[in-house]
């Protein structure tokens, strides 16, 4: 048993156990990344408090109060009130967006201000048809047009509101749409417009943070948009039918039909089944940030155990091939130095960007590890060789992180090559041999006797 405990096999198992032990600090680093992500989201929420959050724009909806009487107890009829919601036949939006970045502490988020031109039409036949199918008494004199917005704080200015060519004004309202979205309203006497279409023209300025989406609240809806943001992320239930993206920005056009959604042209506000279908129909664009430092820190951390193991293997190869000895405590210190790379990377990337932070953190760890290898192995050339190898490993990691779509492929190839190299270098080792008990200083590495 004593000889087995001093064998290379036992040494390998001990090093493997130390590598697994390094999962604890790596896990804490990942928890720290999540904590910093939460702090950034809180900062974005603070920015949105004063500017406007993620916006959803729905256009105009015709809302008509209804009343229906049911037979209740004898002599006590029961009355039920509701609101009929009718969508326009056509709606078109032209959106011109300007983009800026706002900071809160060390964090920043893209914010936008959009000039929106909206026009469309309600058809009298559809309004009459909805009224006949309703089965309730309409209070047409109390009807109103509702503009649906996700965050009213972003409504910076309303320059024009015209209904059938007559100027109108929006009013605040407690009414919501879809169970959650607030609205502003324009009163409308539907009885006075019997048999006439309702044409509307709106011009307003809408601000928000990170994303702008729309609701297809018309039988036919067209949205045109352009913005000076080179990295749009088109999201939601529909992609644009036309789009152009270059280094100066993007332009896009969406075309939605009533056939593309799971709800009709009219319904009652009390019908909660429609709400989820309306929420699922949103479409639009998010101002994507391709250099998300936290996403890259998370991805870098996923390779942490692999890199610690590879460094342990490099030290172990010197120990085996040159008949040296490295104490388990020294392996533990090596692992601690390697895990400190991820903490330093996270802290620096929040201040100077991911690329420069990666270079500084990697260079720091390479210098520390190279100097420590010189002292532990007793040879300058060994320290330089290990430092160069570690620098190459960090360079490969950066390539993997930069190649987002091919990261798994590159990482798999690097792993297979590393295992193949390890198998080649250790092909002649007698794993049953005892670990040398060197009592004299370690000989110089890579030097001829």
Question: Does residue 92 belong to any structural domain of this protein?
Answer: yes
Given a cut of 80, whether residue 343 has pLDDT beyond it is: yes
Check the CA dihedral 363-364-368-369 and report its sign: negative
Residue pair 348/32 in contact (Cβ under 8 Å)? The answer is no
Q: Confidence class of residue 282 from pLDDT cuts 50, 70 and 90?
A: very high
pLDDT at 62 over 80: yes
Percent of the chain with pLDDT over 70: 83
Q: What is the pLDDT of residues 124-177, one digit of tens each?
A: 988 888 877 667 788 888 889 999 999 898 999 999 999 999 999 999 988 889
pLDDT of 220 > 80? The answer is yes
Distance in angstroms (rounded) separating the CA atoms of residues 85 and 223 = 22
Tell me which of 392 and 196 has the higher pLDDT.
Answer: 196
pTM above 0.85, yes or no: no
What pLDDT is attached to residue 60? 93
- Parent domain of 395: 2-38+293-425
How many domains in the chain? 2
- Residues 276, 301 share a domain: no
DSSP-derived letter for residue 435 is: P
Same domain, 110 and 256: yes
Q: Would you say residue 141 lies in a domain?
A: yes
What per-residue confidence (pLDDT) applies to 325? 67
Q: Are both 68 and 143 inside the same structural domain?
A: yes
Residues 315 and 370 in one domain: yes
Are 158 and 202 in a shared domain? yes
The whole-angstrom separation of Cα 436 and Cα 430 is 13
CA angle 350, 351, 352 (to 5 degrees): 110
Q: Is 180 domain-assigned?
A: yes
Q: Please check the confidence at residue 369 and state whether its pLDDT lies above 70.
A: yes
pLDDT of residue 7: 63
SS3 content of the chain, % helix, strand, coil (to 5): 45, 35, 25
Q: Is the model more confident about 321 or about 252?
A: 252
What share of the chain in percent tops pLDDT 90?
A: 28
Q: How confident is the model at residue 431 (pLDDT cuts 50, 70, 90)?
A: low
Region of poorest pLDDT, from 109-123, 233-247, 278-292 = 278-292
Residue of 414, 370, 408 whose CA lies nearest to 389: 370
| Cα three-residue angle 279-281-282, rounded to 5 degrees | 80
Residue range 395-405: mean pLDDT, rounded: 72
- Can you list the positions of beta strands (E) in 74-106? 76-86, 90-104
């Amino acid at each position: 048993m004593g000889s087995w405990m001093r064998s290379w096999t036992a040494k390998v198992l001990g090093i493997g156990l130390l590598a697994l032990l390094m999962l604890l600090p790596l896990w804490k680093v990942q928890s720290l990344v999540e904590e910093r992500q939460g702090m950034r989201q809180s900062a974005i929420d603070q920015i949105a408090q004063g500017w406007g959050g993620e916006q959803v724009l729905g256009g105009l909806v015709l809302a008509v109060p209804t009343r229906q009487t049911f037979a209740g107890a004898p002599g006590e009829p029961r009355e039920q009130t509701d609101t009929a919601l009718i969508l326009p036949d056509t709606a078109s939006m032209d959106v011109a967006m300007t983009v800026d970045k706002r900071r809160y502490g060390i964090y920043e988020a893209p914010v936008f201000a959009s000039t929106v031109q909206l026009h469309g039409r309600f058809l009298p036949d559809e309004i009459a048809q909805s009224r006949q199918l309703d089965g309730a008494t309409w209070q047409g004199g109390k009807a109103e047009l509702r503009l649906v917005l996700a965050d009213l704080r972003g409504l910076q200015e309303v320059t024009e509101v015209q209904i059938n060519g007559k100027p109108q004004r929006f009013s605040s309202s407690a009414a919501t749409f879809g169970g959650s979205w607030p609205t502003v309203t324009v009163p409308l006497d539907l009885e006075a417009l019997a048999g006439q279409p309702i044409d509307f023209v709106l011009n307003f300025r809408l601000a928000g943070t990170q994303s702008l989406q729309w609701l297809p609240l018309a039988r036919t809806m067209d949205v045109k948009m352009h913005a000076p943001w080179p990295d749009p992320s088109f999201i939601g239930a529909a992609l644009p039918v036309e789009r152009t993206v270059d280094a100066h920005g993007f332009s896009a056009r969406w075309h939605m039909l009533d056939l593309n959604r799971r709800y009709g042209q009219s319904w009652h506000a009390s019908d909660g089944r429609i709400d989820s279908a309306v929420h699922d129909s949103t479409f639009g664009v998010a101002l994507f940030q391709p250099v998300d430092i936290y996403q890259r820190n998370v991805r870098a951390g996923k390779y942490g155990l692999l890199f610690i193991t590879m460094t342990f293997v490099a030290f172990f190869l010197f120990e085996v091939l040159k008949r040296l000895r490295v104490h388990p405590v020294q392996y533990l210190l090596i692992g601690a130095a390697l895990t400190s790379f991820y903490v330093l990377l996270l802290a620096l990337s929040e201040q100077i960007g991911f690329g420069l932070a990666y270079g500084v953190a990697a260079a720091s760890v390479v210098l520390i590890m190279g100097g420590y290898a010189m002292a532990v192995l007793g040879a300058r050339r060994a320290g330089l060789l290990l430092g160069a190898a570690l620098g190459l490993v960090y360079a490969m990691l950066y390539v993997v992180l930069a190649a987002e779509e091919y990261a798994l492929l590159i990482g798999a190839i690097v792993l297979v090559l590393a295992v193949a190299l390890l198998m080649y270098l250790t092909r002649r080792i007698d794993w049953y041999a005892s670990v040398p008990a060197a009592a004299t200083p370690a000989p110089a590495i890579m030097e001829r006797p």
